[in-house]
Amino acid sequence: MKLVNAYQRLALVLGCVCVVTLLATSASAQTVVYRVNCGGGTVASLDAGPDWSADSVAAPSTYWAAGSNNTGSTGAAIDMSLLPTNVPMSVIQAERYDVTSGSEMKYVFPVDPGTYEVRLYFAEIFNPGCVAGFRQFDVLIEGELDSSLDNIDPFAEFGCNVGFGRLIVVQADSPADDDAGQVDIDIEFIHQIENPAIKAIEVVTTDAPPVRTEIQSWGAVKGWF
């Protein structure tokens, strides 16, 4: 009788542990670890997350690791209809870009080992660039090229002054492309035609299941563009 009770108690305890674990998993919130306003100053957050940190010529982001120190901006209104409502328009109105000489543009974000969403924000805001084929670039995440980040042509895809985002889930625990002594997420912008340009970057924790070793899923999975 005592043995049965012990098993019953054990089952009850295990059952509670399982329920608690499932609830904890399904209820876990995503945390914004990094938020960078590429090409501009600090912009106040529109949600409970951190502000969009500065990455201007005078005050480049700590996480900007390579490329020419060039920025651009527009006063024109941006069509924000494709983006989440917590993305400020002013963040999309300023960009960092990289000229062909020297290194390719790169950002490096030190992180704890784990799985993260890398959210990249784009738009064609350079008026002469509002021609299909004017600008094309690739973005490598942890040295890998996802098809959604191959030959990005912002004007050809969405037109002039239209903000859009691409979301990549990456597992940051591979030493292959990490700097000595730290696990990090490397984001590199590779010239194809004219200069690569980026408006903003977010790194966000996620419980998304693994699909591939490094880059694990992409925008269309979660309704990004």
Nearest distance from C-beta of residue 144 to Ca ion, angstroms:
11
Cβ proximity to Ca ion, 152 vs 167, nearer residue? 152
Identify the residue among 32, 33, 35, 39 touching Ca ion (CB under 5 A): 39
Task: Give, as ranges, the residues between 95 and 134 that touch Ca ion (CB under 5 A).
Answer: 98, 102
Identify the residue among 33, 34, 36, 40 touching Ca ion (CB under 5 A): 40
Stretch that binds Ca ion, among 15-23, 25-33, 74-82, 198-206 (CB under 5 A): 198-206
How many chain residues touch Ca ion (CB under 5 A)?
Answer: 19
Nearest distance from C-beta of residue 43 to Ca ion, angstroms:
8
Residue 190 near residue 196 (C-beta atoms within 8 A): yes
> What would the two tokens of residue 172 be?
């940051």
Nearest distance from C-beta of residue 213 to Ca ion, angstroms:
13
Exposure letters 102-113 (e unless 16+ CB within 10 A, then b): eebbbbbbbbee
Nearest distance from C-beta of residue 138 to Ca ion, angstroms:
4
Query: Which H helix or E strand runs over 165?
Result: strand 164-172
Nearest distance from C-beta of residue 155 to Ca ion, angstroms:
16
- What is d(CA 42, CA 6) in angstroms, rounded to the nearest whole number? 59
Identify the residue among 64, 141, 199, 203 touching Ca ion (CB under 5 A): 199
Instruction: Tell which residue, 109, 107, 110, has the closest CA to residue 64.
Output: 107
Strand order in the sheet with 144-145: 64-66, 105-110, 184-193, 136-141, 144-145
Using rule CB under 5 A, residue 177 touches Ca ion: yes
- What is d(CA 20, CA 75) in angstroms, rounded to the nearest whole number? 50
Instruction: Tell which residue, 110, 106, 114, 103, has the closest CA to residue 179.
Output: 110
Cβ proximity to Ca ion, 121 vs 224, nearer residue? 121
Nearest distance from C-beta of residue 150 to Ca ion, angstroms:
5
> What would the two tokens of residue 103 be?
């290194």
Cβ proximity to Ca ion, 91 vs 118, nearer residue? 91
Residues engaged in binding Ca ion (CB under 5 A) = 37-40, 67-68, 91, 94, 98, 102, 138, 150-151, 177-178, 184, 186, 199-200
